[in-house]
Structure 1
Amino acid sequence: MPQWPKSSFSGPADGSQCVELARDEFHLLLRESDFPDHTLTLARQALGALLRRLSTAARAGWSPGPPGVTRSVAPPGRQ
């Protein structure tokens, strides 16, 4: 069973708004603290690629917005 440490950047004070990262023998595991039963399993290279893509999109001004809200503007490179 993986250990899910809380990030020091979690907010609010109870740490309930957090993306958590753990690892098993071969993979990195990613989950949203609000939905701990939903885990994304990634190879280390895949997580690196995901973080680079999100960083690039954020620098370009793209944001996914709140859950359930449909965006009318496509992320960079998807227009």
Structure 2
Amino acid sequence: MSRKPRSPTHDPQAVKKLLVRINPEGLRALKILAAEKDATLVALAIEAFNDLLKKNGKRPVVSNPLQAEE
């Protein structure tokens, strides 16, 4: 019995998870910002990580592998 090859989005090595603990006031402010920008919290986090990389002279390479590139 042969198995179907895994797609990149189901490859455990293709996706890494990050748990972030944040105070309730900060989470509320981020949720409001996400609603104002019509974005998700994940999209805001990716934007923030890429901005941090750019600020420190690094290439902005953070993306969501579960979302199709536009």
Fold shared by both chains (TM-score > 0.5): no
- The structure in which a higher percent of residues are helix is 2
RCO greater where, 1 or 2, for CA within 8 Å and sep 6 or more? 2
- The structure in which a higher percent of residues are strand is 1
TM-score, normalised on structure 2? Answer: 0.29
TM-score, normalised on structure 1? Answer: 0.26
Return the index of the structure with the highest Cα Rg. Answer: 2
